[in-house]
Amino acid sequence: MSLQSIGQYGGAYHWVLAKDNHVYAVKAGGLAVIDVHDPTEPKEVGFYRTNRIVELHISSHYLYMVDAAGLKVFDINIPGHLRLAGALGIEDIRSFAIADGYAYLISNKKGVSVVDVRDPSNPILQGEVRTGISPKGICVSDGHAYVADVSGLKIACVKSPSKPFLVGRLGIPGWPKDVWVSNNHAYVADVIGLKLLDVSNPAKPHLVGFLSDPGWKTARLWVEDDFVYIADEANGLKIVDASDLTNPILVGSLDTDGGTWDVYVRGSYAYLADYDQGLKIVDITDPAKPILVGSVLLKGRALGIRVENSYAYVACGEEGLKVVDVTNPSKPLLKGSLETHGNSWDVSVKYNLVYLADGPEGLKVVDVNQPSHPVLLGTLNTEEARGIFIVGDCLYLADGQSGLKVVDISSPSRPILRENLSLDGFARGVFVSGGYVYVADGDGGMAVFCLRE
């Protein structure tokens, strides 16, 4: 199966939403309305001229837009027709969320501003709470607003719209590169080691334990039972006993020739993406004595790995995807490959589909129904795709300096960007657990977002 383009209109759009066979797209100079009843012949049917549109949301038959002047509400009850219903001037809005008849706006000067939009023709400011400098993203759930800013995560109670107040915060020094969440604890790979955080109460997340070594260069991790398996770019595989979260202990290690960039654990084996040394398979029956049992050299730089059934799918940098038969762990065999023209960093598998974070070439969807002949099925252009996590038909993409992207993959041949959340650092890894999205954001720390229905 191959991807076939059936329609295109214009270019240089940087935000898009769709409703009732119409697309609302941000481009230079304002907001365009595009009729897509016939997807092969999209046509512009309306345009609203304005400056510096920041973000769009649609709720019911209203479109909410933030631009240089503040919040604007449009009635889109008549598809394709933009009618300005109401507006409220607030300077320097960075992002916003809509929930239960209220708009939650974040700005550098005011923090979170809560606006009553139950009457869209008359938005009314209800209350404000300072959260910190340079807020980048916000989500609202169960009476709490979660704000990502340069110093970490801030959590405000907004159950009383007129009296919002700050209830919690989380800042993580260092350079987080990957994150895993299990049993209300977050495990963070932070360049020179491992940090463990209690996230059972979103209002009061806190550090409970850590393990570090200046000689480490931690890349990614995998958590299985009481053990954390760490991919160390400089030294290979590290195995940490985290049964006591307050006192994690290094119990085993295996130096590899290439330097390990990713690790996947299944049963008694750890599968390593070992940079220029390809795929390594390690017997971890005894975590204190990991044993190399098989390997295969791969063209390119092995950076990410996942295993499904009898195959390992390896993201190999500029060489794209490699498919390896691991039926016999001692003799892995290269079966197929696909050049993706980007820089493949991470990989995830769902059914017979592989999803690749392909660096500057964005997200790639690959059909591997025939492992010896993988076929490109779909593409979504992004700035610097680095990490992937899939839940149902939703894919969460860590996209470098562009932050976190939420992608609809219900139609794998046509992945659709649903949401884009700016962060302060460089998003490298993402994990979803218990209704929250955790992002390893480089020098921006660990960002936490609450999932919205």
Q: Note the pLDDT tens digit of each residue in 298-333.
A: 999 999 999 999 999 999 999 999 999 999 999 999
Full residue range of the structural domain in which residue 132 is found: 15-170
Asked if residue 427 belongs to a domain, the reply is: yes
Asked if residue 7 belongs to a domain, the reply is: no
Asked if residue 157 belongs to a domain, the reply is: yes
How many domains does the chain fold into?
2
Distance CA(415)–CA(159), nearest Å, equals 35
Asked if residue 127 belongs to a domain, the reply is: yes
Are residue 146 and residue 185 in the same domain, yes or no? Answer: no
Are residue 133 and residue 223 in the same domain, yes or no? Answer: no
Contact criterion met (CB below 8 Å) for 242 and 226: yes
Are residue 70 and residue 152 in the same domain, yes or no? Answer: yes
Distance CA(344)–CA(362), nearest Å, equals 9
Are residue 78 and residue 219 in the same domain, yes or no? Answer: no
Final residue of a structural domain among 139, 170, 201 = 170
Contact criterion met (CB below 8 Å) for 439 and 146: no
Are residue 91 and residue 192 in the same domain, yes or no? Answer: no
What is the pLDDT, as a whole number, of residue 49? 92
CATH of the domain at 165: 2.130.10.10
Q: H/E/C letters for each residue in 113-179?
A: EEEECCCCCCCEEEEEECCCCCCCEEEEECCEEEEEECCEEEEEECCCCCCCEEEEEECCCCCEEEE
Q: Phi and psi at residue 304, in whole multiples of 5°?
A: -145, 150
Distance CA(197)–CA(176), nearest Å, equals 13
Are residue 85 and residue 181 in the same domain, yes or no? Answer: no
Asked if residue 9 belongs to a domain, the reply is: no
Asked if residue 6 belongs to a domain, the reply is: no
Q: What is the pLDDT of residues 9-28, one digit of tens each?
A: 454 566 778 888 898 988 88
Are residue 153 and residue 234 in the same domain, yes or no? Answer: no
Q: Token digits for 108?
A: 């550098």
Are residue 432 and residue 358 in the same domain, yes or no? Answer: yes
Final residue of a structural domain among 120, 142, 170 = 170
Final residue of a structural domain among 125, 148, 170 = 170
Are residue 190 and residue 230 in the same domain, yes or no? Answer: yes
Contact criterion met (CB below 8 Å) for 398 and 427: yes
Are residue 396 and residue 259 in the same domain, yes or no? Answer: yes
Asked if residue 10 belongs to a domain, the reply is: no
Distance CA(233)–CA(139), nearest Å, equals 34
Asked if residue 297 belongs to a domain, the reply is: yes
Kindly tell me the burial class for residue 225, based on how many C-beta atoms sit within 10 Å of its own C-beta (0-12, 13-18, 19 or more): exposed
Average pLDDT per consecutive 10 residues, the chain (453 residues; last block may be shorter): 40 72 88 87 89 90 93 91 93 91 90 95 93 76 80 80 80 70 83 83 73 83 94 93 94 91 95 95 97 96 94 96 97 96 95 95 96 96 96 95 94 95 88 87 79 66
Are residue 257 and residue 206 in the same domain, yes or no? Answer: yes
Are residue 148 and residue 297 in the same domain, yes or no? Answer: no
